[in-house]
Structure 1
Amino acid sequence: MPAPEPTILATSGGYRYGRRTELEFGKLLHFAVELSGVDGRRPSVCHVNTAGGDQRADNARVSEAGGLVGWDVSHLNLFPMPPTDDLRSFVLSHDVVWVGGGSVANLLAVWRVHGLGEVLREAWQAGVVLSGVSAGSICWHVGGTTDSFGPELRVVTDGLALLPYGNGVHYDSEKTRRPAVHAAVASGELPLTYCTDDGAGLLYRGTELVQVVSEVSHGGGYVVQRDESSGTAQEEKLDIRRL
């Protein structure tokens, strides 16, 4: 059963350290599966780790975490080549697409080469829940701030733009994130921008933000927009639901 309408959960979380394994799925990833509406069978999750270079060790940790909760996890590796000639059928056969963190600039470039953006747009419209962390959050938006090019943050504006907003991640844990977002919004480089502290996620139905959630007891979500009269960025903290 697909989600009842196009759904994106864009996060700064979703993983946690495991008790017996290196990695476990956090509440945000469980929430993404819940949003898909799957019932009566094992959920199927498509893990996309392009931003992390398709490291097989990362894939193994995610597969192990999936086994712990009884989910079927497959991996859409694009290095050294895609797993199939039919990426559309591969992606649309899943309940959830989860995109890992890393270099969003490299992710977007590689996705363009393989036409994956168009496939993901169709999946979103068909009710596959699109989700992810960090680079896997920014990618669904117009763009955001990133350390893809080095320690000094820069702005990317060539995201898939399924959502017509900017996106800021790791807002509370990396001290340069907030001022970088404010500068980009004030200059007009980014449009209205939604941001998440670590552990928080933005739930969109269609292109409307309908809820901010968090898998931790602290932190939150924010909206930053340009004040046209002063040319400055104005930030507002959003209501949040703890999962």
Structure 2
Amino acid sequence: MTNREPTILATSGGHLPGVRTAFEFGPLVHHAVDLAGVTGRPRVCHLGTAGGDQAGFRGEAEEAARLGGFDLVHLRLFTMPNVEDLEGFLLEQDVVWVSGGSVANLLAVWRVHGLDQILRRVWEAGVVLAGVSAGSICWYVGGTTDSFGPELRSVTNGLGLLPFGNGVHYDSEAGRRPLVHRLVADGSLPTTHCTDDGVGLVYRGTDLVGAVSERAGQGAYVVRAVDGAAVEERIEPVALRGSR
């Protein structure tokens, strides 16, 4: 682990269709490694809690990591943690990548095992925290989720490492944008940072320092409450090398 400044890459992407494999790690995952300032072969830890630590997905992720040139390890919590010292294990990594699924379930399970506090210390120590969808929302105060059923709802008990709300899949799921606007306007969420599919937001400490994209034409957005209404500002992301 080489990076010393607390860094988060929160995304709606990073997993791309594979040619000979189920999927490949896209430019967003490679950017997380770049943010870590790795010298030598990167060490990436995958947390699949939001999807129930599915064995099949772990194998597919290992294939994607092999193609990407990473050393990938998994931190599993089902049916019990697969390592004794969770904090020590995570501190050995360059990047923690959290995949998607149910953010509500993820937060509950992490808290049972003390990962909410452990991940804060790991972040403060300089390990890059990153992820997609549920693996994005978790770092914020909250966001919009389908964790509870097909109808989108708010989740407001995120880890709060970042003092904002988060809107993922902002362009690809029709209900996301209007719900974010309503939640920000009525104060249920603070100022909220949103990503179209294929876009990521980079934070140093708690400061948003930029947006990056692995897909052309996509955007990032900041939604603020002004006089009881939601006001949206678009941020143009920087295209990453290898973007499609």
- Normalising by the smaller structure, the TM-score range is over 0.9
Q: Are 2:233 and 1:236 aligned? A: yes
* 1:147 equivalenced with 2:114 (yes/no): no
Q: How far did residue 180 of structure 1 move? A: 0.6
Correspondence 1:14-163 to 2 at 5 A = 14-39=14-39, 41-163=40-162
The aligned runs of 1:144-183 (5 Å cut-off) are 144-183=143-182
* Displacement after TM superposition at 1:241 (Å): 0.6
The corresponding residue for 1:198 is 197
Query: Taking structure 1 as the reference length, what is the TM-score of the superposition?
Result: 0.97
1:2 is displaced (CA, Å) by 2.2
Counterpart AA for 2:90: V
C-alpha contact 2:75 2:83 (8 A) present in aligned 1: no
Q: Which runs of 5+ in 1 are unaligned?
A: none
Q: Distance in 1 between matches of 2:69 and 2:92?
A: 17
SS at match of 2:143: strand
Q: How far off is 1:69 after superposition? A: 2.2
- Please name the residue that 1:224 is paired with: 223
Tell me how far 1:68 sits from its aligned partner: 1.3
Q: Percent identity?
A: 64
Tell me if structure 2 keeps the 8 A contact 1:7–1:203: yes
Letter of the aligned partner of 2:232 in structure 1?
A: E
Which SS does the other structure have where 1:2 is aligned? coil
Q: Which residue of 2 aligns with 1:13?
A: 13
Kindly report the root-mean-square deviation, in angstroms, between the aligned alpha carbons of the 2 structures.
0.8
> 2:68, 2:99 → 1: CA distance?
19
Contact 2:4 2:127 (C-alpha < 8 Å) held by counterparts: no
Gaps of 5+ in 2: none
1:37-94 deviations in Å (ceiling 9; x for gaps): 111x210000001001100001000001111122110111100000122100011110
Separation in structure 1 between the aligned mates of residue 72 and residue 197 of structure 2, nearest angstrom: 24
Conserved in 1, the CA contact under 8 Å of 2:167 and 2:176?
yes
SS in 2 for 1:234: strand
Displacement over 2 Å in runs of 4+: none
1:50 touches 1:107 (CA, 8 Å); kept in 2?
yes
Q: TM-score, normalising length from structure 2?
A: 0.97
| C-alpha distance in 2 between matches for 1:2 and 1:205 | 15
What CA distance in whole angstroms lies between the structure 2 residues aligned with 1:44 and 1:213? Answer: 22
Distance of 2:139 and 2:156 partners within structure 1 = 11
Separation (CA, whole Å) in 2 of partners of 1:105 and 1:182? 21
The alignment partner of 1:149 has SS state of coil
